[in-house]
């Protein structure tokens, strides 16, 4: 507060912000500005550099820096005296985050959140990093010392500042030039990414790379496709192993469902505890695929638990889903909500049931928290039968698990829970709509399908404008953030998946309009898609926003260009409209040329390329009664990497292969299956559907 009791400039600017992250900083002594022209104009008038802080409400180290560094009186004094301070929510302004992550990474070789950048008044980075403690520690220089040195450089060595800013731009330019010269042939591109995934695969723990270990659901989907399409040894097995390890891990919340962001160790035991909507949407779709492909009850259970967390924690009463759940529940916390001590478990369970839980969840073993070994992340260390050996349980082991989890959920509900960011973003909701539609089709859960439809209808009603596309976020004052590629692509994909599951034409029209808008408004160099449309973008183009940016690499969720290609292929198969297939293959060539060396982070592009090289499948179930119902369930639970399943002939604009459409009705239940334009003889036995779809991979072509 000011001397007369008036709010500070920062409090006035941030207290009413739509972003949870910005509002949480409103009472700090730092004179924060939100992103916009005002701080850049102020920096030019005063001749000061800009401090840019980019973070998010779910980010643990952002909280640590807010609670320690930015509350330090000396840090606040230095910032007020020498800098113009700007705070950005990366979820709210992904276009800002994308550009400044790239600039800071070009200088330091590291990125992530919080992102700390020092900018010229024109918006160019000249120094930067991530987390800084207030004083020297954590192997990092203290922020007090950093701020003093930056202020000195700004005042005494302006040439060095200009040289640093110019060097960053030179690095970015050289990176763009290197990426432009790759091969565009899709077959060797796919082979190269397969080799890179095999090289990165962890044969001990599953997954890719070492610590920290992120889930890479697009890589799993690529391996599933590769094992099916090419018969590549080990591809499907490695996908299966990774799904199994993650499902049993501490990264999956064994009590409340849903996945934490990543694991700090290569064995998947101890997570970074934030739960991201984007990750969970992608992993949900991956576990549905895994359930279809392998018939593993554990995969279906994991998908069901993830859906439960999404509905319980993120669902908005009016429709749609929020953005994230925080890692922490209070300053200084580090996962206490999600972890357990032995006494806490003893307060909930007793006797052999407690002994069973300790064994089953590996209490006292690899899930102990490093900062407090008394606290344990729960993970599935043994099978239920192994954990029950020698114990006198009143229930079967599998039923005992259900009871134990229910009791732990009840006890955990009494704890202060981490904050949920309830902001409604179109890209996130598009991913949820598509993933939930796929889950609902697989599981037959009509309630989940209704929630996906409700989210789609709300965003179409409140955030969609024909000719302008879908806005990035829904706010009380209306939609904001038009012109971002990720929103158009993710939401179009969600609508396409929902349309195919429901066979409702009402979702097809806006999906196609969004895809046409992408094709028309976002084209840039080499025919690739830019992350924002200069004509449609309604934000202020200050700072680095004038720089073209092309989202080509998975991060680790699917890149927007790869997602566009994949969605083109899905709608081509849904409507039997070959112009979209042509657009996909045309787009994939320059993508392959740019990301051929990206390895694991090009898995999504390689998957889209693989789908473009093959034929989609169409299944139509005809007839009524229990036998037709059984065929219908079997068709929706069967796996193929690009299949659409209909109950009877769908209405326009849905379309069937000509041979299938020409066949007359039947007197009895049957399933008609086509691959591209060629159709198989009718199927009357549900058990034959899965093998038929699987046989049209490498084995069917041999």
Q: For residue range 160-170, list pLDDT tens digits in order.
A: 999 999 998 88
**Paired sense of beta strands 125-129 and 115-119, if any:** antiparallel
- For the structural domain made of 9-179, what CATH number should be given? 3.40.30.10
Instruction: Report the pLDDT value the prediction gives residue 63, as an integer from 0 to 100.
Output: 93
Cα 623 from Cα 421, distance rounded (Å): 46
Confidence of residue 556 (pLDDT cuts 50, 70, 90): confident
Q: For residue range 183-220, list pLDDT tens digits in order.
A: 679 999 999 999 999 999 999 999 999 999 999 999 99
Strands, E assignment, 355-410: none
Instruction: Report the pLDDT value the prediction gives residue 667, as an integer from 0 to 100.
Output: 62
Q: Is residue 53's pLDDT more than 90?
A: yes
How is residue 193 annotated by DSSP? H
Kindly state the average pLDDT of the residues 318-342: 92
Instruction: Report the pLDDT value the prediction gives residue 184, as an integer from 0 to 100.
Output: 76
User: Which segments of the chain belong to CATH 3.40.30.10?
Assistant: 9-179
Kindly state the average pLDDT of the residues 581-597: 96
Q: Is residue 103's pLDDT more than 90?
A: yes
Instruction: Report the pLDDT value the prediction gives residue 689, as an integer from 0 to 100.
Output: 97
CB 593 within 8 A of CB 184: yes
Kindly state the average pLDDT of the residues 118-147: 93
Kindly state the average pLDDT of the residues 494-516: 98
Report residue 352: phi and psi, to 5°. -70, -25
**Element (H or E) spanning 125, and its range?**
strand 125-129
Instruction: Report the pLDDT value the prediction gives residue 7, as an integer from 0 to 100.
Output: 46
Q: For residue range 382-397, list pLDDT tens digits in order.
A: 999 999 999 999 999 9
Confidence of residue 6 (pLDDT cuts 50, 70, 90): very low
CB 82 within 8 A of CB 144: no
Q: Is residue 109's pLDDT more than 90?
A: no
Q: Is residue 2's pLDDT more than 50?
A: no
Report residue 513: phi and psi, to 5°. -60, -40
How is residue 135 annotated by DSSP? S
Q: Is residue 361's pLDDT more than 50?
A: yes
Q: Which two tokens stand for residue 676?
A: 């591209």
Confidence of residue 44 (pLDDT cuts 50, 70, 90): very high
Q: Is residue 262's pLDDT more than 80?
A: yes
3 state SS of 232: coil
Q: Give the predicted TM-score (pTM) of the model.
A: 0.96
Handedness of CA 377, 378, 382, 388 (dihedral sign): positive
Question: What is the DSSP track for 234-288?
Answer: THHHHHHHHHHHHHTSSSB-TTT-SB-SEESSTTS-SEE--EEHHHHHHHHHHHH
3 state SS of 687: helix
Q: Which two tokens stand for residue 417?
A: 């829970």
Full 3-state SS string of 410-448: HHHCCCCCCCEECCEEHHHHHHHHHHHHHHHHHHCCHHH
Cα 48 from Cα 84, distance rounded (Å): 7
CB 125 within 8 A of CB 117: yes
Q: Which two tokens stand for residue 451?
A: 């929630």
Work out the angle between the directed axes of helices 578-595 and 603-613 (0-180°, nearest 10).
140
Q: Which two tokens stand for residue 229?
A: 């399409």
246: left (phi over 0), alpha (psi -120 to 50) or beta: alpha
Cα 85 from Cα 157, distance rounded (Å): 21
Instruction: Report the pLDDT value the prediction gives residue 231, as an integer from 0 to 100.
Output: 93
Cα 693 from Cα 557, distance rounded (Å): 27
Cα distances from 407 to residues 257, 304, 306, in angstroms, run 14, 19, 19
Instruction: Report the pLDDT value the prediction gives residue 175, as an integer from 0 to 100.
Output: 72
Q: Is residue 181's pLDDT more than 70?
A: no
Instruction: Report the pLDDT value the prediction gives residue 658, as an integer from 0 to 100.
Output: 84
Confidence of residue 695 (pLDDT cuts 50, 70, 90): confident
Q: Which two tokens stand for residue 461?
A: 């009603």
Q: Which two tokens stand for residue 104?
A: 């800071």
Confidence of residue 307 (pLDDT cuts 50, 70, 90): very high
Residue with tokens 């084209």: 523
3 state SS of 450: helix
Q: Is residue 1's pLDDT more than 50?
A: no
Q: For residue range 438-458, list pLDDT tens digits in order.
A: 999 999 999 999 999 999 999
Mean pLDDT over the full length of the chain? 94
């Amino acid at each position: 507060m000011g001397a007369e009791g008036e709010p500070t400039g920062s409090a006035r600017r941030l207290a009413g912000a739509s972003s949870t992250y910005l509002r949480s900083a409103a009472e700090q002594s730092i004179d924060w500005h939100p992103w916009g022209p005002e701080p850049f104009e102020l920096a030019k008038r005063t001749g000061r550099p800009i401090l840019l802080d980019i973070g998010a409400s779910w980010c643990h180290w952002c909280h640590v820096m807010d609670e320690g560094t930015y509350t330090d009186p000396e840090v606040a004094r230095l910032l007020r005296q020498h800098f113009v301070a700007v705070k950005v929510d990366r979820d709210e302004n992904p276009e800002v985050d994308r550009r400044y992550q790239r600039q800071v990474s070009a200088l330091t070789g590291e990125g992530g959140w919080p992102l700390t950048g020092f900018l010229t008044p024109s918006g160019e980075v000249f120094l930067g990093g991530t987390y800084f403690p207030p004083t020297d520690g954590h192997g990092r220089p203290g922020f007090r010392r950093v701020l003093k040195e930056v202020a000195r450089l700004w005042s005494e060595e302006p040439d060095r500042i200009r040289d640093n800013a110019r060097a960053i731009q030179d690095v970015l330019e050289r990176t763009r030039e290197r990426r432009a010269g790759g091969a565009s042939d899709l077959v060797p591109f796919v082979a190269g990414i397969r080799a890179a995934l095999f090289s990165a695969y962890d044969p001990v723990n599953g997954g890719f790379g070492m610590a920290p270990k992120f889930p890479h659901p697009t890589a799993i989907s690529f391996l599933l496709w590769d094992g099916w399409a090419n018969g590549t040894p080990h591809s499907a097995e490695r996908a299966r192993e990774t799904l199994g390890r993650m499902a049993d891990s501490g990264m999956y919340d064994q009590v409340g469902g849903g996945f934490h962001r990543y694991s700090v160790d290569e064995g998947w035991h101890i997570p970074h505890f934030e739960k991201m909507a984007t990750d969970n949407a992608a992993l949900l779709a991956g576990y549905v695929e895994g359930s279809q492909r392998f018939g593993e009850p554990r995969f279906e259970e994991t998908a069901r638990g993830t859906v439960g967390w999404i509905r319980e924690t993120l669902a908005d009463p009016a429709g749609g889903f929020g953005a994230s759940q925080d890692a922490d529940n209070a300053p200084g916390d580090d996962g206490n909500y999600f972890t357990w001590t032995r006494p806490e478990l003893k307060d909930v369970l007793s006797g052999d049931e407690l002994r069973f839980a300790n064994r089953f969840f590996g209490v006292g073993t690899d899930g102990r928290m490093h900062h407090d070994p008394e606290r344990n992340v729960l993970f599935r260390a043994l099978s239920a039968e192994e954990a029950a050996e020698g114990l006198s349980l009143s229930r079967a082991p599998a039923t005992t698990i259900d009871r134990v989890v229910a009791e732990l959920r009840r006890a955990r509900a009494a704890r202060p829970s981490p904050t949920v960011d309830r902001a409604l973003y179109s890209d996130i909701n598009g991913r949820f709509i598509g993933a939930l539609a796929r889950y609902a089709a697989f599981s037959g859960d009509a309630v989940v399908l209704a929630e996906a439809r409700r989210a789609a209808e709300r965003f179409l009603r409140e955030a969609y404008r024909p000719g302008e596309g879908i806005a990035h976020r829904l706010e009380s004052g209306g939609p904001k953030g038009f012109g971002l590629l990720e929103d158009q692509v993710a939401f179009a994909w969600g609508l396409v998946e929902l349309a195919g599951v429901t066979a409702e034409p009402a979702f097809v029209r806006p999906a196609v309009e969004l895809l046409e808008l992408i094709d028309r408004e976002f084209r840039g160099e080499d025919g690739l898609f830019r992350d924002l449309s200069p004509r449609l973008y309604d934000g202020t183009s200050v700072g680095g926003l004038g720089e073209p940016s092309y989202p080509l690499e998975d991060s680790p969720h699917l890149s927007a260009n790869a997602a566009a290609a994949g969605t083109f292929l899905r709608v081509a198969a849904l409507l039997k409209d070959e112009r979209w297939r042509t657009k996909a293959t045309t787009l994939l060539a320059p993508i392959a040329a740019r990301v051929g060396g990206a390895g694991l982070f090009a898995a999504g592009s390689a998957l889209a390329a693989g789908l473009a090289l093959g034929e989609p499948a169409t299944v139509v179930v005809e007839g009524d009664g229990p036998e037709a119902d059984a065929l219908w369930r079997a068709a929706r639970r069967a796996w193929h990497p690009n299949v659409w399943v209909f109950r009877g002939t769908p209405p326009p604009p849905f379309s069937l292969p000509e041979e299938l459409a020409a066949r007359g009705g039947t007197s009895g239940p049957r399933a008609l299956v086509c691959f591209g334009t060629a159709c198989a003889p009718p199927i009357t036995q549900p058990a034959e559907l899965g093998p038929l779809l699987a046989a049209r991979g490498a084995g069917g072509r041999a």
